[in-house]
Amino acid sequence: MSLETTFQTLTDHALAQWESWDGLGVEARARILEQFAEGLHSAGSEYADCAAMVRWQIENARSQIGEQISLPGPTGEANVLSTAGRGLFVLAADDQAHRCAMVGQLATALLAGNVVIMLGHDNLAQQLAKAGCPQYVVQTLDSDALSSITTLPAELVSQPQLAGVAITSSSVAELNRQLAARAGNLAQLICETDTHGLSSITSPYYLLRFITERTRTDNTTAVGGNATLLELGAKAE
């Protein structure tokens, strides 16, 4: 099977699950990630820092996007601000990155409401499945099939449904050029170049790169709140 066909299959499976995963809400997704953190902690003391990373991302998500926000508006109008995931993200981390890098990227993307394809790290996908993460929300692509994670194959970058790439690497310039040159919708590059300190991934604002804002306006004035009035004059005599 060609890489293009493989990635298209992964994409189709992921996007089929995106709406339902995003619709769970932050708290329901957080509970699954809490079980994921427990699994990492149980895997041994060497994974304690990774479990701590997941728990920090959970608390940050609850604080940053856990609640809808009521916005001011004219009399008779209610405005609510909420967030949604952007869609499909590809996640990658080079061999020199801290072992928590992929865990941090993964937890953040999922908490924000996205579906992901990881380059490698099948063990993390298995741990998430045990934690109750629905099938196809997290999938993996064998990174051995790629010559480099900092220059992704054209078949992968050109996917029109790709919302973005999150990568931990000290070299991201070529990938940035690839994404900028693609046709169609923009695909965001979220990069962590501090491969050991992970200063971006551990920032409270890292999460905001994975979301899009959504507003809902309810008109509660006389006409807006009464469907019968809306019909006046529309009926034939």
Model pLDDT for residues 182-209, shown as the tens digit of each residue: 887 889 999 999 999 999 999 999 999 9
Q: pTM for this one?
A: 0.89
- Reported as a pLDDT band with limits 50, 70 and 90, residue 229 is very low
Whole-angstrom distance, CA of residue 137 vs CA of residue 111: 12
pLDDT of residue 221: 63
Q: What is the CATH number of the domain that holds 102?
A: 3.40.605.10
Q: What is the pLDDT of residues 92-145, one digit of tens each?
A: 999 889 999 999 999 999 999 999 999 989 999 999 999 999 999 999 988 666
- Reported as a pLDDT band with limits 50, 70 and 90, residue 91 is very high
Domain of 104? 3-218
Contact criterion met (CB below 8 Å) for 231 and 95: no
Is 112 part of any domain?
yes
Is 43 part of any domain?
yes
Is 39 part of any domain?
yes
Is 234 part of any domain?
no
Contact criterion met (CB below 8 Å) for 70 and 80: yes
Q: Please tell me the total count of domains within the chain.
A: 1
Check whether 25 has a pLDDT greater than 80.
Answer: yes
pLDDT of residue 150: 65
Is 212 part of any domain?
yes
Can you read off the two tokens belonging to residue 163? Answer: 């919302």
pLDDT of residue 233: 47
End-to-end alpha carbon distance in the chain: 64
Is 235 part of any domain?
no
Is 101 part of any domain?
yes
DSSP letter for 232, please.
T
Count CB-CB contacts under 10 A for residue 136. Answer: 17
Is 166 part of any domain?
yes
